[in-house]
Homo-oligomer: A and B are copies of this chain.
Amino acid sequence: MNKKDGMNYAPTGRSKKVVENGEFQIAAIGLDHGHIYGMCNGLIEAGAKLMYVYDSDPEKVNAFCERYPDVVPVDSEEEIYNKDSIDLIACASIPIDRFEVGKKALSSGKHFFSDKPGFIKLEHVQQARELVSRTGLKWGIYYSERLHVESAMYAGELVKQGAIGRVVQVIGTGPHRLNASARPDWFFKPDYFGGILCDIGSHQIEQFLHYTGATDAQVLHSKVANYNNKQYSDFQDFGDATLLADNGATFYFRVDWFTPDGLQTWGDGRAFILGTEGYIEIRKYIDIANNSTSDHLYLVNNEKEEHFGLKGQVGFAFFGEFILDCLHNTEKSMTQEHIFRVAELSIETQEKAVKVE
């Protein structure tokens, strides 16, 4: 795991191939965020074949081709849209540009898999809904902080099994290391990525709806601050929010860019899932001052306190399920409505935020 920041966090792991080599072909457009590696790893491990890549920056393309030696770099986005063999386009461009890539992907008959945040404008989500409805294609979003975290995936299993009764509340914290000197300009300009709640907050809202089994929620309160990085005038280094799900469960999350240098990884991400019959705590990337491996899950219920070390034990079922959803027009990985509603709620949470300092 990269100690410097979370931008190059690209897990590889146990995975079941759901398709034969060549049966599901993918291409990558937009390498601005290192999440593209996690996205491709996940899909490739589930059987996808990575065929082409495009980015306007040759340096990013070279690095990508080093990591995936069989991929073919092409000279324009259009070449990829025009390839009939391609089933899906994965995209981690600057967030503001992702919608346009998705629109062209679906318009050219390809499924789309976007890095989070998939959207930074509500009207784009609406247009994407219409495109999906018209084409029958998928518009996926890579919510890596659950989909690519074994302890987070396992927490969902435990909840489903009824291990903690009815889930009544979730608390999520998503601290990230700033690592300012290595960040591109757009990183500090919310107009490009939607702001801290829309961006890294979207992981949180996705988890909330998933763990509570809710289909919708409302934003009750949210706030943002730039406490300690005032040299970047529009930047937000802190944000939090509380939401109410349609099933009565509530949520609080905090995201920030305050991971201190002494932490052995890029962020001490946690989730606390409170049920009527017990609770789960996930220490996703580290168990501070205790164990520097990732994926520690703690379960306390009416029988006992229990620790699960889950690194390498769970795998990443999402990617194979998502490929099969694309192929068979099913919704086993997650529903399209879940994806769009999370995006909308993330934007709403951002738009409603009060500023503090």
Contact = CB atoms under 8 A, between A and B. Distances in A.
Interface of A: 164-166, 168-169, 171, 173, 175, 220-221, 223, 225, 227-228, 238, 240, 242, 244, 248, 250, 252, 254, 256, 258, 260-264, 268, 272, 274-279, 281, 288-290, 298, 300-307, 354, 356-357
Contact of A227 (B168, B268, B302, B354): B168
Contacts of A166: 227-228
B302 A250 contact: no
Query: Quick one: which of A169, A298, A306 has the most chain B CB within 10 A?
Result: A169
Contacts of A260: 164, 277-279, 300-302
**Closest 10 pairs between A and B when the two form their complex, measured CB to CB:** A221-B221, A289-B307, A289-B305, A260-B278, A261-B302, A262-B304, A228-B276, A168-B227, A262-B303, A288-B305
A357 to B, nearest CB: 5
Given A240-B250, A300-B262, A168 B221 contact: no
A207 to B, nearest CB: 17
Contacts of A356: 244, 248, 250
Contact of A240 (B228, B242, B248, B279): B242
Contacts of A288: 281, 298, 300, 305, 307
Nearest to A302: B261
Given A223-B220, A242-B242, A302 B262 contact: yes
Given A166-B227, A238-B250, A260-B302, 8 more contacts: A175-B279, A220-B221, A252-B252, A258-B279, A261-B302, A281-B288, A288-B300, A289-B306
A305 B228 contact: no
A228 B168 CA distance: 9
Nearest to A306: B289
B254 A171 contact: yes
Query: Quick one: which of A165, A168, A228, A298 has the most chain B CB within 10 A?
Result: A168
A220 B242 CA distance: 11
8 contacts: A165-B228, A168-B225, A168-B228, A171-B254, A238-B250, A240-B250, A288-B298, A289-B306
A185 to B, nearest CB: 23
Query: Quick one: which of A227, A240, A290 has the most chain B CB within 10 A?
Result: A227
Contacts of A268: 279, 300
Contacts of A252: 240, 242, 252, 254
Contacts of A223: 220, 242, 244, 250
Contact of A238 (B168, B262, B264): B168
Contacts of A221: 220-221, 242
A34 to B, nearest CB: 24
A279 B274 CA distance: 23
Given A300-B288, A301-B262, A248 B274 contact: no
B262 A305 contact: yes
Contacts of A261: 302-303
A261 to B, nearest CB: 4
A276 B240 CA distance: 16
B225 A250 contact: yes
